[in-house]
Structure 1
C-alpha cells in the first residue's frame, strides 16, 4: 500500500534521539530550547513555545488571548476538529466561516459578509482561526485587514504549513496574526512524533503560553506574589496544563528542521508532476495562490463518484484519505445547532475530495502507479 503520507527519518535523526536517551534529561532539558531556536530562526520571530501537540498549542494560544465564556471563536469547517474544539475548551462559543472554492482556505468574501452581519447582531468574534489548508497560506493580509476593523485577534492554524511562504515571507512570522501554530505529526512536513509549537512576536503572549504549557507553575520571581523561600520553591500562579514536549521529540525536531527546505522542495516538485500527469484526467487539481508557496502537506484532488473512486484506489494499493469531513456536520456540532447546508462551499469540496499520496520519499515509480490507478478508477 502506498500511503497518502509518511515521515522520513534519517540515521542522523535516530542518533539525535539516542543521544538524548543516553543523557541526563528526557524532559525539560536543553533539546527543547534548541528546537524552539530552530523554529524562531525559520519563522523570523522572537518567541517559539514547543508543546506536545498542535491542539495543545492552539489551546494555550486561545488562553493567552483570554478567550473565555461569553466570547466567540470563528474558524473554518474544512479542518480537523481541533481548530474548533479549542474554543469549547475555553468555554467560548464557536462559529464557522465558509471556504474559498479554489484554495479551500478561509474565504475572504465570506468572512467580510459574516463580519458585517455579526456587527449588526452584536456577535463579533474575539478570536479568528484561519487554517492554512494542505500547506498553502490563507490570504492573511486581507483577513488581517478585515479583523483589524473590529479588533479581532488572530491565531493562524498553520499545522500543515511549516516551510511555506506568504508574500515572500515565512509562514509563522506573525506579520498578520498574534500567534501562529504548527503541527509535527508524522504525516506533516517535519515530525517530532507528536508535537506542536506556537510562534509570536509578543513577549506577553509568549510568557503566558509558556506558563500555561506547564501547569501554570513558575519559578520566576517576577511572576510570584511573594519572595522565594529557597531553591526548591515554585508557585502556581494560573491554571495550566501538562503540555510539555519531551527531549526525545525535540531532538528529532532539531535534525528534521535541518532538512526542512529539502522536504518542501521535494513536495513541490512532486506536486508539479501531479499537475502535469493528471492534466488529461477528469479530476480537479489544487489551485495555488500566486502570493504564496505551499509546503504541500497534502495534494487533494476533486473527483466525481468519490466513494467509488476512493474504494477502487484503496483496493488497488493506493492509500488515499479524505481531508476533511466538515466540522459542523459532526454529531457534537450538530447538537450545538449546526446543520448540513450551513457552509455550502466546504460541503461541496468535501463531497468530491480525495488526498492522494504525497511525501518526501515518494518515488517516481510509485507516483506513476498512483496516477495510473487514478486514471483507471475515474474511468471505471
Structure 2
C-alpha cells in the first residue's frame, strides 16, 4: 500500500536521537531550546515554544490570548477537529466560517459577512483560527485586516504549512513570522513536512504571549523571580502562578526535530515537484486538481482533488474503496467539523456551511510525500486512470 503520507528517517536522525538518549537529559535539557531557536529563525519569529503536539500548541495559544467561558472562537469547518476543540478546552463556544471554493481555505468574504452580522448581534469572536489547509497559506492579509477592524485575535493553524511562504519578491515571508497573526502553530506529526514523532510548536513576536504559553505548557510553574509573588526562599524555589499542563517536548523529540529541520527546504521542494508532476499526469481525468492562489507558496502537505461525480455511476465511496483495493492509500481531509456528532450536539446542522459540505462530498487526498519515487507516482496515476475510467 502506498500511504498518503510517510516520514523520512535517515541515519543522521537516528544518530541525533541516540546521542540524546545517551546524554544526561531525556527531558528539560538543552535540545528543546535549541530546537526552538532553529524554529524561530526559520520562521523569522521572535519566539518559539516547542510542545508535545500541535493540539497542545493550539490550547496554550488560546490560553495565552485569554480565551475563556463566554468567549467565542471561529475556525474553518474543513480542518482536523483540534482546530475547534482548542476553544472548547478553554470553555469557549465555537463557530465556523465557510471556505473559499477555489483554495478550500477560510473565505475572507464569508468571514467579513459573518463579522458584520456578529457585530450587529453583539457577539463577535475573541479568537479566529484560520487553517492553512494542505500547506497552502490562507489569504492572511485580508483576514488580518478584518481581524484588526473588529478587534479579533488571530492564531494561524499552520500544522500543514511549515516551509510555506506568503508574498512574492522582496515581500516574500515564511509562514510562522506572525506578520498577520498573534501566534502561529505548527505540527510535527510523522505525516507532516518534518517530524519529531509527535510534537508541535507555537511562534509569536510578543514576549508576553511567549511567557504565557511557556507557563501553560509546564504546569503554570516558574523559577523566574520576576513572575513570583515574593523573593525565592532559596535556590530550589519555584512557584505555581497559573494553572498549566504538562505539554513539554522531550529531548529525544527535539533532537529528531533539529536533524529534520536541516532538510526542510529539500522536503518542500520534493513535494512541490511531485505536485507539479501530478498536475501534468492527471490532466484530462474526471477530477479537479488543486488550485494555487498567486502570491502564496504551498508546503504541499497534501494533494487534494475534487472528484467529478456528475458522470453516471460515479460514486465517492466506491472510488475510495477501489483505489484502496489497488494498493493506493488514499484518504479524505476532512469531514467538516460541524458535522461531527459532538458539534451537532452543540447546535450545528447540515447545511450550515454549504461550500465546505460541497467540498467534502467530492474530496479525495492522494499520496504525496518527499521520498515518493517515480514508480510510486506512476502507480498512483495508473490506478486513478483505471478506477475513474
Q: TM-score, normalised by structure 2?
A: 0.97
Match of 1:16 in 2: 16
1:326 aligns with 2:336: yes
Q: Deviations over 1:357-379 (max 9, x none)?
A: 00011101110110010111111
Structure 2 distance, partners of 1:233, 1:38, is 30
Match of 2:41 in 1: 41
Q: Deviations over 1:255-314 (max 9, x none)?
A: 100000000000000000000000111110110011110000000111122111100000
SS across alignment from 1:209 = helix
Match of 2:246 in 1: 242
Question: Which residue of the other structure, out of 161, 170, 175, is the alignment partner of 1:171?
Answer: 175
Structure 2 distance, partners of 1:326, 1:62, is 21
Match of 1:62 in 2: 62
Structure 1 distance, partners of 2:387, 2:38, is 43
1:270 aligns with 2:274: yes
Matches within 5 A, 1:82-161: 82-161=82-161
Match of 1:371 in 2: 381
Structure 2 distance, partners of 1:86, 1:176, is 20
1:349 aligns with 2:359: yes
Structure 1 distance, partners of 2:387, 2:131, is 31
1:31 aligns with 2:41: no
Structure 2 distance, partners of 1:213, 1:34, is 17
Match of 2:290 in 1: 286
Q: Deviations over 1:188-208 (max 9, x none)?
A: 000000000000000000000
Structure 2 distance, partners of 1:375, 1:311, is 15
Structure 2 distance, partners of 1:33, 1:377, is 49
Match of 2:76 in 1: 76
Q: How many residues align?
A: 379
Shift of 1:150: 1.1
SS across alignment from 2:277 = helix
Shift of 1:62: 0.3
Structure 2 distance, partners of 1:45, 1:56, is 19
Match of 1:359 in 2: 369
Q: Deviations over 1:38-66 (max 9, x none)?
A: 10111111100000000000000000000
Match of 1:206 in 2: 210
Shift of 1:226: 0.9
Structure 1 segments, 4+ long, off by >4 Å, are none
1:258 aligns with 2:259: no
Structure 2 distance, partners of 1:220, 1:155, is 27
Structure 2 distance, partners of 1:83, 1:134, is 14
Structure 2 distance, partners of 1:116, 1:46, is 33
| Structure 2 spans left out of the alignment, 5+ residues | 310-314
| Structure 1 spans left out of the alignment, 5+ residues | none
Structure 2 distance, partners of 1:364, 1:306, is 26
Structure 2 distance, partners of 1:42, 1:151, is 29
SS across alignment from 1:324 = coil
